[in-house]
Every structure is written in C-alpha cells, then in structure tokens.
Amino acid sequence: MMTTGTTSGNSSPQGHVIVEFLGVPRLRTGCSRCVARAGSLRNVLAQVQQQFPHWQDLLDDSGGLAPWYQLATETHGFVHDFELCVAPGETVIILSADVGG
C-alpha cells in the first residue's frame, strides 16, 4: 500500500479507497492519507493498522475502531457499522472523537 502526504486530488488506484486522517490520526500517522483496498470498513481499518503498526490505539480488541476515534465516509456520513462495504474510489475519514467540540 502507499501513503502520501497531500490531500489534493481524489484519485486512487482502481479497486482502492482513500483513507484521510484528520487531527490526532494525522499526527499518529505523520501523513494526511493512505490508500487501501475497497471492502468492509473493518477490512479497511485492518489495512490501515498494517500500514501504520506504530499506531497501536487505532483498533479495539474486536478489530473495530477504538472509541476515541470517529469514522466517516462520503456517502454515509459518520458510521459505526464496520461491516459496511466501501466502494472503490470512495473516501474514508478517520478523525479524533473530541469531547465538547
């Protein structure tokens, strides 16, 4: 998988999704986005974890997103169903779940 430090453009390799990082996730990864194979959100998150193994608090024990992060997609807004399939070319956003913001 590839990572990139810019968010300009919205193109991804065929069959892939763009995963953008905002706030703390951007600080943890050191970049603004990466590319993952399309599939369920759980699978996309697992791929992100593989690309950034030092980001230890991304996933919880069940393989879902840890509660201090939020997940959104272009077509569904904020999501909590990790079995939801993300279509190729779609963007997934991982951001901090800031309290009081």
**Confidence tier at 100 by pLDDT (50, 70, 90):** low
Q: Where are the domains of the chain?
A: 14-96
Task: Using CB atoms within 10 Å of the CB of residue 3, give its burial: 0 to 12 exposed, 13 to 18 middle, 19+ buried.
Answer: middle
Q: pLDDT, tens digit, for every residue of 20-49?
A: 999 999 999 999 999 999 999 999 999 999
What pLDDT score was predicted for residue 58?
92
Return the CATH fold of 14-96.
Ubiquitin-like (UB roll) (3.10.20)
pTM value? 0.83
Statement: residue 99 has pLDDT above 50: yes
**Confidence tier at 1 by pLDDT (50, 70, 90):** very low
Q: What's the rounded Cα separation, in Å, for the pair 12 and 23?
A: 22
Statement: residue 96 has pLDDT above 50: yes
